[in-house]
């Protein structure tokens, strides 16, 4: 089980061929208080780089892109009632979707936790 990050601040946790995707703590800080999250339909096929979700906060609306290709097999229904989970537990209960990945090699292009930390520090 390893967590990877994108330059757009999404995270991916891979367990077998299932990828759980959300936004990083840095991303939720930049967004501010999240007031709405739109997630895709279960059964949707997505390709790496596609828009996966829309997050609306008190500051702005932002898109979340999928870092992997595959089929959406689960969505976090709790976000509909409690979108603030994205702020409270960005890398826990605030996850967005679960995708059965089509090509695990796509993860090779993502950053590990240490590389992502260095990347974020470089943005300051």
Percent of the chain with pLDDT over 70: 99
Q: The tokens 């090509």 sit on which residue? A: 103
**Phi/psi-derived region of residue 23, left when phi > 0, alpha when psi is between -120 and 50, beta in every other case:** beta
Mean pLDDT across 48-54: 96
Q: How many CB atoms lie within 10 A of CB 29?
A: 12
- 95 CA to centre of own chain: 7
Q: In the prediction, which pLDDT does 74 show?
A: 98
pLDDT tens track for 4-14:
999 999 999 99
| Residue 68 and residue 49 in contact, taking contact as beta carbons nearer than 8 Å | no
Q: Is the pLDDT of residue 3 over 80?
A: yes
Ordered domains of the chain (ranges, CATH)? 2-103 (2.40.50.100)
Mean pLDDT of 79-90: 96
Q: What tokens were used for 26?
A: 């840095």
pLDDT digits (tens, 9 = 90+) for 87-112: 999 999 999 999 999 999 999 999 99
Q: Yes or no: say if 96 and 76 are a contact pair by the CB < 8 Å rule.
A: yes
- Indicate if the pLDDT at residue 1 is higher than 80: no
């Amino acid at each position: 089980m390893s967590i990877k990050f994108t330059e757009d601040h999404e995270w991916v946790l891979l367990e077998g061929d299932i990828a759980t995707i959300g936004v990083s703590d840095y991303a939720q800080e930049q967004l501010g208080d999240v007031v709405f999250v739109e997630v895709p339909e279960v059964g949707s096929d997505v390709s790496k780089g596609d828009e996966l979700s829309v997050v609306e906060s008190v500051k702005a609306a932002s898109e979340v892109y999928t870092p992997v290709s595959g089929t959406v097999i689960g969505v976090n229904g709790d976000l509909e009632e409690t979108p603030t989970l994205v702020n409270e537990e960005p890398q826990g209960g605030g996850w967005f979707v679960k995708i059965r990945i089509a090509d695990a090699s796509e993860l090779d292009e993502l950053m590990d936790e240490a590389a992502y930390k260095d990347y974020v520090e470089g943005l300051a």
